[in-house]
Every structure is written in structure tokens, then in C-alpha cells.
Structure 1
Amino acid sequence: MNSKQFKVVVVEDERLIAKNIKRNIERANEAFTVVAIAHDGEEALRYIEALLPDVVVTDIRMPGIDGIELIGILSEQYPSVRKVIISGHDDFPYVKSAIQNGAANYLLKPVNHEELKETLGKIEREYDMEKGEAFSKYRPDKKDPEDIAGLVKDYIFKNYEKPIDLSTIADELGFSPSYLTKLFTKYVGVSPNRFLKQHRMTIARQLLSDPSYPIKTVAEMVGIPDPFYFSKSFKQIWEMTPSQFRSGKKEE
């Protein structure tokens, strides 16, 4: 069974419909979790930059940046993100454009449970296939050190919100922690643990800029359930606590 958990951002300007889509996604496949709901394209891009989701499910017709334009931006700036269009019957002329811009699939409103389940399953299978190809490409007897370092960075980017550490990464990629540390430090300039902490705290800083997120919630969103350790890590990177960052006051 695939242990990968997929982060989803839903983009829908009708709030009740958006909540219903969220509920349906999480019922259709427990591997998919909606981490944010955006009500227009601009808000969606802010969430996507901060949360780096695996999947974006978007309506076509929205104020400002519509679904077609949003998918085009994602294809250019976030090519690994899977894109799913939700459309009304009158939107079929747009569907071809959506597919051309890289949409993984499209669903008609109201969303059919079985179609949604199949779409999510398709995304899951594609991920498994890509993962298999990646590990085939980077077999231990054919690895380039820089490629290994890149694989570690990619794993961190996709899994930082989980309680992972160096041992987790090493086990997942099939190397010893000491070998990964030596190799990664040589090619990146910092250890994997330091890189993970820096990435988490960079994302945390972006999330803390939104006052609607409690500090404890931000800590959990970047894979650190212990608020004390989160505060300590944040201060190590930014020389101030999360509370001081929010208040705009640096400790004397």
C-alpha cells in the first residue's frame, strides 16, 4: 500500500461548494488531505507557494485569475503539481484548453464520487510509477553524487510537513545516514538535517505572516508537533521566536 500522503489545495469561489469538494476528496481516498481552500486564483498561488501541494483541484470560472490561467501558471512554475479541473456543463469549450495546459483530469459539477475516486487513484498510480522510475534511475550501483543530493532535496521538499529526520530520509532512499550526510554536505554546503530545518523554517515564516494560523498549527504544518522545539528551531534560523516575528519585535 502506498504510504505517500498527498496534499491538496482546492480552488473554488463558492464557499459551500469548496467545503463539499474538500469533504468528498477526503472521503474518496484517505491518502489525500486538503491543506487549504482558496476562493480565487491569487489566493491559491499564495497557498501553493507556502504549502507546495501535490494536487490542485480548481474551478474554471473565478474572478481575477481563472482556472485555465492558474493551471498554465502551475504548469510553468510548479510542473510536478497534479492539476484537476472542476467544470460545469457550460464549460466544455474550456476543457480542451485545460488539458492542453496540463490538467490531469476534469470533473463535472456536481462531482461524482466514483469519478473523483478514479481521478485520485490515477494520480496515486502515476506517483507510484514516477517513484519507481526514480529509484530505478538512482540504483546504488549507478548513482551520481550530485543526483543523490538532488534526490534528498526533492524528498525534503515533498515531505517536510511530516515528522521526518535524517534516518527517515536515509531509510527511504536506501543509504546510511553517515554517507548521506557526508555526500549532501559536500554538494549542498550544509547537512541534510540543517537543510531540512532551514526549509521548514522558511515555510513557517511564510505561514506565520498569516495571523489566522495559530503558532501551534504552523508548527504542525511544517512537521514539528512539539511547539517548544519549533520555537527553538525558528529562533536558530531567524534569531527571533515565532511570537517575536509576529509582533515585529526582535529580542534585545
Structure 2
Amino acid sequence: MKKNILLVDDERWVRTALKWTINKLNLPLHVVHECENGLEALDWIKQNDADLVITDIRMPIMDGLSLVKELSHLKKNQDVIVISVHDEFQFVQQAIRTGVTDYLLKPVEETELKVCLEKWLEMKSQEETKRNTPKDEDENLPFSTIEKVLQYIETTPLDQITLKDAAEFVHMNHSYLSQLFKQQLNKKFVDYITELRIEESKRLLLNTSLRMSEIAERVGYSDLAYFSNNFKRLTGFSPSEFRKSALEKVPQ
């Protein structure tokens, strides 16, 4: 069954190009309507349904961020992908905090659009599977995903682990995975990785003569000061203090 998309952009040629590209991708998607600004989109969606809204950020009358906020109040459960230019990343971050599913940069490349839409379709498929799974199996589904993420973490060098790569490993949107990880492990992904990095750095401090900068780099920190701050926040010691204290306890 095809998913319906609402396109929102004040430039008609952009909407035309997006619609043409979406049709060309041959995915189970249908552009059901187009709007010139956020207010027009909001009025339309109050009376109609769309599974996904793809909207520009900068538009007259009502911009994309205002549209996202208004849509969240409607509680109609449609997802949103925002389109921005490079110098609008602060707006993208704001949009992500308000629940936007993903974002694309202008000019929208066909390959990037395809990857973005395929990820969204995969996320919707997983959500539908979860809804249709019997309760006892349903409870195990998210945990099975997290087990795969932990497998990715265990088999990947600490300096190469990223949330984006973990999400790709389990074929899931990174924002959705972040929420699921926190829900299942009661800990943010970034905090979990930070703890692993600090534990490994403690092992290296105790068992090797590597310099602080070398240890920091091995566990994934290019900035020595940032590594030292994280280390002290979690252990109460700076890396050099930790190594010195451990050496002082070694019998002579």
C-alpha cells in the first residue's frame, strides 16, 4: 500500500522537481497534494491525511518550523522531513528537537532523497510490524533491535562508533534508534559509548605507556581536552592523576 506525501514549498519548480524525482524512484509513495506555505499545508491537513510531510524551512506566511509545531498539536501522527540550506543548520537542530524525522539539504540530490525515503519507509514498516505483533512477541521486538546495536558496538573499534552507523546497521532512522536505546537501556547512546571509551582508556592508562593523546585518539577523541574533561567527569581524576595514583599503589 502506497504512503501519501504532502509537499510544501513556496517555489513551484522545487515542488515539481521533487514530485518528478519521487515518482522516478519507484517506491511505494504517492504525492497526494502540494502547498505553497505552512499555513496552506496546515489548513489542508486538518481536512485530509498524509503519512509524510516534506517541507522547506523558509517560506512566507508560515515557515516550516512553525508548521512542524502546529502539526504536533494536531496529533495526526504524520512524519515530517524538512529541507534546508547549509547555513540553516541551527533551524534543522531546532526542528529535530520538535520531532522532525529527518532532513535534506538543498539542492536535493536524487541519491540523498532515495536514501532518506527508504529509511523512512523502513521505519514505518517496523512500526507497523510492532503494532501487529502479539503482545508477548511485541515486547521482545525492540530489545532484539538493541541486541543488534550492542553487537555493532562490540565489534566496532571505539574510535569508529557513531549513532548514524549503528542506525544503518539495524536499518533504522537514527532519531528513532536514539529514543529506543534510551527507552530500553535507560541511558542515552552517547552516554553509553562515553562510558565504554572511558573504561577502555583506564585499561590503557594502567597497562600501557601510551601518551595521553595516543590513548585519547584510540578511544575516539581527537580533542585531548575534551577527553580529559570526560574522563574527570566520570572518574573524579584527570587521566594523568589516574595513572599516577595507580602507579603509586604498585609494590616496589
2:87 is equivalent to residue 90 of structure 1: yes
Q: Deviations over 1:124-170 (max 9, x none)?
A: 1111111111111469xxxxxxxxxxxxxxxxxxxxxxxxxxxxxxx
Alignment equivalent of 2:29, drawn from 26, 32, 39: 32
Matched letter for residue 46 of structure 2: E
The match for 2:155 is none
Q: Is the 8 A contact 1:11 1:18 kept in 2?
A: yes
CA shift at 1:79, angstroms? Answer: 5.0
Q: Is the 8 A contact 1:57 1:83 kept in 2?
A: yes
**Moved >3 Å (runs of 4+):** none
Q: TM-score, normalised by structure 1?
A: 0.51
Q: Which has the larger radius of gyration?
A: 2
Segment drifting more, 75-84 vs 88-97:
75-84
Alignment of 1:187-202 (within 5 A): none
Alignment of 1:147-166 (within 5 A): none
Identity rate, percent:
35
RMSD of aligned Cα (Å): 1.6
Q: Is the 8 A contact 1:28 1:116 kept in 2?
A: no
The match for 1:53 is 50
The match for 2:117 is 120
2:39 is equivalent to residue 68 of structure 1: no
CA shift at 1:45, angstroms? Answer: 1.1
Segment drifting more, 129-138 vs 16-25:
129-138
SS of the equivalent of 2:133 reads helix
Give unpaired runs (5+ residues) of structure 1: 140-252
The match for 2:127 is 130
CA shift at 1:39, angstroms? Answer: 0.1
Report 1 or 2 for greater relative contact order, CA contacts < 8 Å, sequence distance ≥ 6: 1
**1-side partners of 2:122 and 2:111: how far apart?**
16
Matched letter for residue 63 of structure 1: P
Q: Is the 8 A contact 1:29 1:120 kept in 2?
A: no
Change (3 A) 1:71 1:29: farther
Q: Is the 8 A contact 1:42 1:64 kept in 2?
A: yes
Give unpaired runs (5+ residues) of structure 2: 137-252
